Amino acid sequence: MAEDLVLDTAIRDWVLIPLSVVMVLIGVLRYFVSKLIRSDQVPDIKIVKEGQVIIRARNLRAAANFIPAKSFRARRHYYSNEENGLLHVPKGQAQNPQAQMFSDPNMAMDMMKKNLSMIIPQTLTFAWVNFFFSGFVAAKIPFPLTQRFRAMLQNGIDLSTVDVSYVSSRSWYFLNLFGLRGLFSLILGEDNATDDAQRMMQMGGFGFDPTRSLGAEKDGLDIVQHDWALPKFEQRAVAVLKKLS
């Protein structure tokens, strides 16, 4: 086991603190920049409507047993008849999302803006950190950790003998990048926190295709077996009242 390393106070003053401050400032700056270049998204009326249809159809599927059979059948017909049912998608009209994206320049533009505000500052700061502060230990956390944390905390230092509780400067950068969310929500208000993790999720979910889910919803609706639940409720009510008296 290596002896305790003594960290120069200059490291604290010139690396640790500046790095954190810069990360916070960049986060704030990025928030305002992205706010500036974000275009007011006016969603397409068709998409809004399709979203609502899906919610309503899903409700119908989930709670079908709560309404009389006649009402259910009327609704199912309304949703999924072959002529003008709400969920019916004529063949050939279903586009694949890729084509849809390119046919709508706004969409691509929007995505690019999102990417710009996220990727550019990240690459820049990463390059900056790499250039100036790579390869040394910047801080020590006051408790011991297992070897598995080495990759997370000592990124950029390839020494297996250094105790895991030391944090390399590059790792400090990553910790800041992902760990400042709480601070941002304090500074910028609850909803405004620039949340990288969340945004990445959104990116992953991109390419959501309403027409496909319309079709899926229709198939789901078609196979629902209607079984009116209300007659059972009479027995349940009897049981409830018996318990009362």
CA dist 115 and 103 (Å) reads 19
Q: Is 201 in the site for other proteins (CB under 8 A)?
A: no
CB of 140 closer than 8 Å to CB of 167 = yes
Closest separation in Å from C-beta 1 to other proteins: 54
Q: Is 3 in the site for other proteins (CB under 8 A)?
A: no
Contacts of 68 by beta carbon, 8 Å cutoff, 6+ apart: 228, 230
Helical segments of 104-149, H only: 105-133
**Which secondary-structure segment (H or E) carries 22?**
helix 17-37
CA dist 164 and 168 (Å) reads 10
CB of 122 closer than 8 Å to CB of 200 = no
Closest separation in Å from C-beta 187 to other proteins: 15
Residues in the interface with other proteins (CB under 8 A) total 31
Q: Is 235 in the site for other proteins (CB under 8 A)?
A: yes
Q: Is 81 in the site for other proteins (CB under 8 A)?
A: no
Nearer of residues 63 and 111 to other proteins, judged by Cβ: 63
Closest separation in Å from C-beta 228 to other proteins: 8
Length of the chain: 245
Six-digit token string for 117: 């505000």
Q: Is 36 in the site for other proteins (CB under 8 A)?
A: no
Instruction: Kindly indicate which of the ranges 15-23, 46-54, 106-114, 194-202 contains the residues binding other proteins, using the contact rule CB under 8 A.
Output: 46-54
Nearer of residues 37 and 55 to other proteins, judged by Cβ: 55
Name the residues that contact other proteins, by CB under 8 A: 42-43, 45, 48-49, 52-53, 55-56, 59-60, 62-64, 66-68, 71, 230-231, 233-238, 240-242, 244-245
